[in-house]
Amino acid sequence: MRNLRDSDADAAVSSPAIQEHEGGSSQYQTDTSSTTSPVVTGATVNPTRQWRDVFWLFIFILHLLVFGSGLGLLGANRFKKADRLNIDRFTNITLSASGLAPPPPPPLLIEDPSRHTETFWPFYGAAAGIGLVVAWSWLALLGRHAELMMRVSVHGLTTYLAVVSVFCFWAHHFFWGVGFAVGAALQFLYLLSVFDRFPFTMLVLQKSVKMVWSLPEVVWVVYTFTVVMLCWLVLWSFGVAGIVALSIDVNGRWWLLVVFSVSLFWTGAVLCNTVHVIVSGMVFLVLLHGGRGAATMPPKPLLKTLWHALTTNFGSICYGSLFTAAIRTVRWEIRGVRSRIGNNECLLCCIDFLFHLVETLVRFFNKYAYVLIAVHGKSFNRSARDAWELFQSTGVEALVAYDCSGAVLLMTVVLGGLIAGTGTVVVVESAVTSIYICFAEDPALIERWDLEFFGQLSEALHQRLQYRSARARQTFNNRLPDLTTI
């Protein structure tokens, strides 16, 4: 793949990633001898893909069985009757022997009904129902009024933080009022600093939403996975309510919550990344064939991408998601420690911020690796390496760095709600990353799909590369007098 050297708007041209078959149709091929280019040769998705990262696939399935059973058992233990399964006799013996808990106290004569899991069920049901409705509504509005919803997210978050700050001051919560006011000010300053990037960002987001909305079956995949995630949240909350109600020491409950939090974060990351891989595979097929309604489009493409995501690619998805889950668990534990101690809180805040940066970087690189997993069917480690090499060799990382769609989508998550925003953002973010990967591998994919958008991307890439070259020359010229005096 040759680097970008031309100075005109068509500078973003790499080695062809597509080899057309004599019949005109195409398919995936998992030839691992090529590190970047997806070579296509047939009429349907190649069914001979190899299974990748199988070990982590079995670990994840085993984890679902074990933790799912444990959550159900713990929740049922405190449902309608105190310690109905007499689990405390095991937890107290185990934790007392390890020194984490003192001997169990004598049983209470009167059990507090508020500690039963049935007390929390109405709240869980209401939260799940509201989250599901908001998720569907937000995705529908984003599909029909993309630009308006993005602008509402960008400017609405600043307004939201400022309004909350006013209410905190009005309620005499000075500390929180200052915190939200500072957040609103920082958000406003950030918008001013990236204001020149918004036209390009909005262009990419509009095209991505247009791509997603042309695939109604993908929208239903998001709905389905949202329901699955809510069901797991209900089960997890049911079990955690049983953990909180156990008559064991606080430290014992704390460590149990840490262990089950790993399961929650890992399962959530796997579900989101599975949607990401499915959407990426569908976007690649649309770009490959020049449109959703192309005659060369294989029959039932969603079933094929879904099959690969849940079989041959699922181990790689589970493996990559584990990194994010581990970092999120550490951050959650740090925040819990901060709430329980009064010393060194500033140090813990700094550590939490550093882990936040690490999580952001991991998620940034992983999302491009998942696109190559969907397209090539490679392992997670190889896909992550190839994605980085692909951007470096073509210069497309200049566009990725200039694009601030991630920040806009994050504002959408905050304003639209966690469950609603996450389900919506994953599908849009998948389209954005797939477009960049396909543009880096073969710009002809974008050109066949949308000629005007291809020209805009090429022109933007040309400008960014020129800007980078100018900055590099300026830096070198500024350092040249110092070098001559050595």
347-383 pLDDT tens trace = 666 777 777 777 777 777 788 999 999 998 889 999 9
Comparing 308 with 88, which gets the higher pLDDT? 308
Dist CA 405 CA 395 (whole Å): 18
What pLDDT was estimated at residue 80? 59
Q: Which of 29-38, 84-93, 114-123, 476-485 has the lowest mean pLDDT?
A: 29-38
Question: How far apart, in whole angstroms, are the C-alpha atoms of residue 284 and residue 242?
Answer: 45
Q: Which residue ranges make up each domain of the chain?
A: 54-106+194-475
When pLDDT is averaged across residues 171-182 and rounded to a whole number, the result is 85
Lookup: tokens for 57: 């696939």
Residue 117 DSSP one-character state = G
Residues 99, 102, 108: CA angle, nearest 5 degrees: 150
Q: What is the pLDDT of residue 238?
A: 83
Over residues 440-469, mean pLDDT: 89
**Which residues are within 8 A (CB) of 455 and not within 5 positions of it... i.e. 6 or more apart?**
9
Local structure of residue 344 (DSSP, 8 states): S
> What is the C-alpha to C-alpha distance for residues 208 and 192, in angstroms, rounded to an integer?
24
Within 10 A of 89 (CB to CB), how many other CB atoms are there?
11
Q: Tell me if 236 sits within 8 A of 68, measured CB to CB.
A: no
pTM of the model: 0.76
Q: DSSP characters for 445-482?
A: HHHHH-HHHHHHHHHHHHHHHHHHHHHHHHHHHHHHHH
Residue 414 dihedral angles phi and psi, to the nearest 5°:
-65, -40
**Is pLDDT above 90 for 192?**
no
Q: Which amino acid, 83?
A: D
Cβ pair 73, 85 in contact under 8 A: yes
Q: Give per-residue pLDDT as tens, 236-271.
A: 888 887 887 777 777 777 888 888 988 999 998 999
For all residues of the chain together, what is the average pLDDT? 75
Give the Cα separation of 424 and 404 in Å (integer). 17
Q: At what angle do helices 198-213 and 451-484 cross, to 10 degrees?
A: 140
Task: Decide if 94 contacts 255 (C-beta within 8 A).
Answer: no
Q: Who's near 475: CB < 8 A, 6+ residues apart?
A: none
Give the residue-averaged pLDDT of 146-168. Answer: 78
